Amino acid sequence: MGMRLWGWGYREGAAVRRHVFTLLMGAFAALAALVRPAAAHPHVFVAAKAEVIFDGSGNVIGINHVWTFDESYSAFATMGFPKGTDGKFDAAKLAELAKVNTESLSDFGYFTEAKAGGRKVEFAPPQNYRLEHNNNALTLFLTLPLKRPVPGRTLSLEVSDPTYFVAFSFDEAADAVVMARAPEGCKATIRRPKPEDLSSYSKLSDQIFSSLSGKEEVSSAFANRAVIACP
């Protein structure tokens, strides 16, 4: 841009121009940060239970998931479903919903990440899926088979939605993570997400640029993890 266009003396012009530009861009960045449409809070909450299935000789062959949705999502999902004379939802409608839900899980890695001895485990498509509706809440049951059995000595199991649409948390009950046909002495330890811990190290300045760096502590506070350890 020429000097004439800007219309003030060259000597002060260069410095002033820089200031104006920086100021404007700063304002623009601040506004852009305000509108960045990230981080919607989750509207769907799942209390998860899991059963790790062993083959009887120390290998893990699959996981049985039991996911109970919050009442609000359950009301949304079953909106307009016909009810029978017993007050229960139409079974065919529930089966259809279970099918739709389960089939689209593959695009999201089944919301399940398992590592055996530090190595990622691969899953085959879910089986035996069904939905139940009790006390205003939907519960999805499904079996997630492993592509290949893996030794179950140390297995970490994470059930979560990386996009944070759905907030998964292992059920508060003691039997949230159990094992079937596991060798003697195997133990499951659960670590539930604690997003409220995050507020302790919050900094306002973080808010604008931290997404560029991606903070490890932030994601670990959302981890919903169980660790299986066998002797």
Partner 1 sequence: MSVTRRAALLALIAMTLLACPALAQNPNPFSLGGLEGLGGRPSSGFAAFILAKQAEFTRAMTAAARAMSTDPAAFWSLIGLGFAYGVFHAAGPGHGKAIIASYIIANENALKRGAGIAALAALLQGLVAIALVGVLALILQGTRQTLTASINWIESASYALIATFGFWLLWRKGRALLALMRGADDPACDHVHMPGPAEVARWSRREAAMAVLAAGLRPCTGAVLILIFTLSQSILPAGIAAVLSMSAGTALTTAGLAALAVYFKSFAVHVAAGRGRLGLWLVRGLEVLAALLVTLLGLALLMGHWASVGGS
Closest CA to 59 of 187, 183, 157: 183
Nearer to partner 1, 51 or 164 (CB): 164
**Backbone phi, then psi, for 82, in 5-degree steps?**
-70, 145
Query: What SS3 class is residue 154?
Result: strand
User: Of the listed pieces 54-62, 147-155, 165-173, 174-182, which binds partner 1 according to CB under 8 A?
Assistant: 165-173
x/- letters, 167..206, toward partner 1 (CB under 8 A): x---------------------------xx-xxxxxxx-x
218 sits near partner 1 (criterion: CB under 8 A): yes
* Identity of the residue numbered 191: R
CB of 60 to partner 1, least distance (A): 24
Among 90, 108, 127, 189, binds partner 1 (CB under 8 A): 108
Closer CB to partner 1, residue 54 or residue 69?
69
Cα dist from 157 to 60, 113, 229, whole Å: 12, 6, 11
50, 159 Cβ separation under 8 angstroms: yes
Q: Report if residue 96 touches partner 1, rule: CB under 8 A.
A: no
Cβ at position 226, least distance to partner 1 in Å: 20
In the bound complex, what is the minimum distance in angstroms from residue 190's beta carbon to partner 1?
19
CA 77 to chain centre: 19
- Alpha-carbon distance of 114 to 225, in angstroms, equals 9
**Minimum distance, C-beta of residue 142 to partner 1, in the bound complex (Å):** 11
Q: How far is the CB of 64 from partner 1 (least distance, A)?
A: 18
Closest by CA position to 223, among listed 176, 128, 157:
157
Q: Does 95 interact with partner 1 (rule: CB under 8 A)?
A: no
Q: CA 27, CA 179: separation in Å to the nearest integer?
A: 56
> What part of residues 17-76 is at the interface with partner 1 (CB under 8 A)?
18, 20-29, 31-46, 69-73, 75-76
Which of the residues 119 through 138 are near partner 1 (CB under 8 A)?
A: 136
Please name the residues in contact with 222: beta carbons below 8 A apart, sequence gap of 6 or more.
160, 164, 193, 195
